[in-house]
Amino acid sequence: MPTILITNDDGVYAPGLLALKQAMASVGEVIVFAPDHNWSGAGHTKTLHKPLRADKVTLADGSEAYATSGAPSDCVALALLGLVPRRPDLVVSGINQGPNLGQDVTYSGTVAGAMEAVVFGIPAIAVSLDIKDAQPPDFGPIARFAARLATEVLQRGLPPNVLLNVNAPPLPEEQLRGVQVTRLGRRVYRDVLVARDDPRGRPYYWIGGDPPTGHEEAGTDIGALAQGYISVTPLNMDMTDCAFMAQVATWGLR
């Protein structure tokens, strides 16, 4: 059976990770290696300035997992550098409690976990669920889809430098309209600076504001979710703008 490494950025005890782990058990042998606390918004972090710790823990279903003090990308690196017994055939990161759409992918610890796998030459999938209210989310539909997608990736492979970023709307299975293969959309962030004073009169700051929105263009991940589709967006780690290279070459920089 293939070996599947699972990580996330919500922490090792997050319900989305457990749902993903249980769904992936039908595809291969699962190893869980996740952060011991929430790393949402961590981006593609690499911890170099302090030691990392890793311990075995027990998940809610009684299965064993590894928990580390590092970020999602650290989890994948530690596992692939020798802390798990076998090199995995696939890395799946998620299921994130919240979407990772458009420019979110540069901030996302979930996507970063998949990116780190690609750095090591292993195919990877990042999985996120859009959550609209305070009700406990149902991770079942997206977990089952992720297992189907994992089967396809294991059979077909992915090109070098490519990972798949998956986002799903918070709908029951019977209400999902299907799957769209998409490009990244354009997020609209509504951040505000919140300034306060501590008890000693020194200022401190929060980045606050309303949740981001986005342009619901057809063919984008944001548009697909708005229409009730699961979006699958291939991301390439080579971010070179090849079309613009020729223009920069005319600037006389030599």
- Report whether 17 contacts 55 (CB < 8 A): no
* Average pLDDT rounded to a whole number, residues 78-102: 96
pLDDT for the residue numbered 254: 81
What is residue 251's three-state secondary structure? helix
Question: How high is the pLDDT of residue 136?
Answer: 84
Task: Give me the pLDDT at residue 182, please.
Answer: 98
> What is the rounded distance in angstroms from the CA atom of residue 227 to the CA atom of residue 189?
21
Query: Looking at residue 199, what is its pLDDT?
Result: 97
Residue whose C-alpha is closest to residue 10's, from 93, 66, 90 = 93
Burial of 52 (0-12, 13-18, 19+ CB in 10 A): middle
For the chain, which residues make up each domain, given as ranges?
A: 3-186+214-251
Cβ atoms 132, 99 nearer than 8 A: no
Of 122, 125, 93, give the one whose Cα is nearest residue 109: 93
Residue 99: pLDDT over 90:
yes
Q: Residue 190 above 90 pLDDT?
A: yes
**SS3 state at 209:** strand
Buried b (16+ CB within 10 A) or exposed e, 142-158: bbebbbebbbebbeeeb
Q: What is the pLDDT of residue 132?
A: 78
Structure token digits, residue 68: 């580390």
Give me the pLDDT at residue 133, please: 73
- Across the range 129-134, mean pLDDT stands at 84
Please state, in angstroms and rounded to a whole number, the distance separating the CA atoms of residues 55 and 39. Answer: 17
Q: What is the mean pLDDT of residues 137-143?
A: 96
Q: At what angle do helices 15-24 and 140-156 cross, to 10 degrees?
A: 50
pLDDT of residue 134: 67
Token pair, residue 61, equals 């279903």
pLDDT tens by residue, 24-42: 999 999 999 999 999 999 9
Express each pLDDT in 106-116 by its tens digit: 999 999 999 99
Query: Is residue 243 classed exposed, middle or buried when 0-12, 13-18 and 19+ CB atoms within 10 A define those classes?
Result: exposed
Q: Tell whether pTM > 0.75.
A: yes
Q: What are the tokens at 158?
A: 């992915």
Return the minimum-mean-pLDDT range out of 106-110, 131-135, 186-190, 212-216. Answer: 131-135
Quick check: 135 pLDDT over 90?
Answer: no
Percent of the chain with pLDDT over 70: 100
CATH class, 3-186+214-251 region:
alpha beta
- Please choose, from the candidates 161, 145, 146, the residue with its C-alpha nearest in 3D space to the C-alpha of residue 92: 146
